[in-house]
Amino acid sequence: MSNINIIDQISARQLDTSGLRCPVPIMRTKREISKLTSGEKLLVIATDPSFKVDCLVFIRQTGHMLLNSWQEGDKFYYLLQSTAN
């Protein structure tokens, strides 16, 4: 079973930033995760390889959690969990 099939089983909002370049994917991620309550999940799909570094810095600065990340083809997937109050 691929990670994509597993994600279908998890309640997560999805944000597809495919085709967008830095800094747009992380800016949209910040906006979308700010709408979530604590414990809710956001699946970010990106094609910009530099998003990985941006995402790691973002979670370190904000305290949100990176639950999983993987690559399938030219797409990168990041499953984040909000720790907002």
In the set 22, 24, 66, 67, the catalytic residue is 22
Cα gap 67→47, rounded to integer Å: 19
pLDDT given at position 84: 78
Topology given in CATH for the domain delimited by 3-81: Translation Initiation Factor IF3 (3.30.110)
Q: For this structure, is 22 an active site residue?
A: yes
Q: Where are the alpha helices (DSSP H) in the chain?
A: 3-8, 24-33, 51-62
Please name the residues in contact with 63: beta carbons below 8 A apart, sequence gap of 6 or more. 83
Looking at residue 11, what is its pLDDT?
Answer: 78
- State the pLDDT at residue 54: 97
66: Cα within 13 Å, side-chain hemisphere? 18
- In tens digits, the chain (85 residues) has pLDDT values of 566 556 555 678 999 999 999 999 999 999 999 999 999 999 999 999 999 999 999 999 999 999 999 999 999 999 999 997 5
- Longest Cα–Cα distance of the chain, Å, equals 35
What are the residue ranges spanned by the domains of the chain?
Answer: 3-81
